[in-house]
Amino acid sequence: MDVDTTSTTTTSLVDRIVVPGDVVLDLTKMENQTVRLGAGLRQDCDSISVMQAGKLRLSKPNKYWVESSQKRYIPSLEDAVLGIVVDSRSDNFLVDIKAPNLAFLPVLAFEGGTRRNIPKFETGTLIYARVVKANSIMNPELSCTDASGKAAEFGQLKNGYMFETSTGLARTLLSSPTCPVLEALGKKISFETAIGLNGRVWVNGSSPDDVILVSNAIMRSEFLSGTQQRTMVEKLMERLRGN
């Protein structure tokens, strides 16, 4: 494997694969500029170096971040995630969100939640929630309301089918404009999905055939280009309708 020496030349590393240790910006050469750092980047006195392997992205004018995709999820604030209830305590539910620690979901963190109407979630219940507190030393905390206290589609997800993906695919599915595979599926099938940034996707449709088709299409779309995704969806639908 060739050693990448671009960090020693003046070529920009934006939109290229970077690995931990790469120096992407030299702040001594950029005077009087504000640089915003997103995920995966770290300031080391006068240089900005990479902490996480992935693709370096730049959003003009000055926001840099590293896009990476893993099976494991590191909780971050305001992410929408799909969690599975593991246990319930007196003041919160313990929810698994594929993070290093179990997350806490307070029993009152629901729209109109009071001590009298606490939801009864059994072990294994699938929940769509939002991360409200996340740091490296404590268990993350979730909430089933949005910032203003309304339910906003958060809460228990009933029926349907849930499968796991990488965090990168989950982010692609949530990007706008709509991801090609979802657009192609939406033209012919009516279905609903809930996508968790922690790498979990829930699909519900009017018949099991639809649910299976949509789930398979999404799972296969990760490394395909836009046109390849559309072709793949068409082939799947032909196979289903043809039988």
Partner 1 sequence: MVGMMIDGAGEEADELVTPGEFLGEATQLVAGKGAYVSGRSILASLTGRRTITPPTPGSSDNRSTIEVVGHKAHGAVPQPGSIVIARVTKVMARNASVDIMCVDSKAVKEKFSGIIRQQDVRATEIDKVDMYQSFRPGDIVRALVLSLGDARAYYLSTAKNELGVVSAQSISGGTMVPISWTEMQCPLTGQIEQRKVAKVD
Contacts with partner 1 by CB under 8 A lie at: 42-45, 104, 133, 135, 137-139, 141
* Closest among 83, 78, 80 to 99, alpha carbons compared: 83
Taking the complex as a whole, the smallest distance from the CB of residue 45 to partner 1 amounts, in Å, to 6
Q: How far is the CB of 92 from partner 1 (least distance, A)?
A: 10
- Rank residues 10 and 34 by Cβ distance to partner 1 and give the closer one: 34
Q: Please, which residue, 1 or 137, has the CB nearer to partner 1?
A: 137
**Residues facing residue 133 across a β-bridge:** 141
Q: How far is the CB of 35 from partner 1 (least distance, A)?
A: 14
Which single residue is written with the structure tokens 């919160």?
92
Q: Which is nearer to partner 1, 3 or 45 (CB)?
A: 45
Q: Which two tokens stand for residue 96?
A: 């698994």
Q: How far is CA 159 from CA 156, 188, 205, 206, in A?
A: 10, 21, 9, 11
Q: Nearer to partner 1 by C-beta: 27 or 152? A: 27
Rounded to a whole number of angstroms, the minimum distance from the CB of residue 48 to partner 1 is: 11
Alpha carbon distance 97, 82 (integer Å): 7
Question: How many other CB atoms sit within 10 Å of the CB of residue 87?
Answer: 12
Q: Which residues contact 183 (CB under 8 A, 6 or more apart)?
A: none
Residue (140 or 205) nearer to partner 1, CB:
140
| In the complex, least distance from residue 46 CB atom to partner 1, rounded to whole angstroms | 9
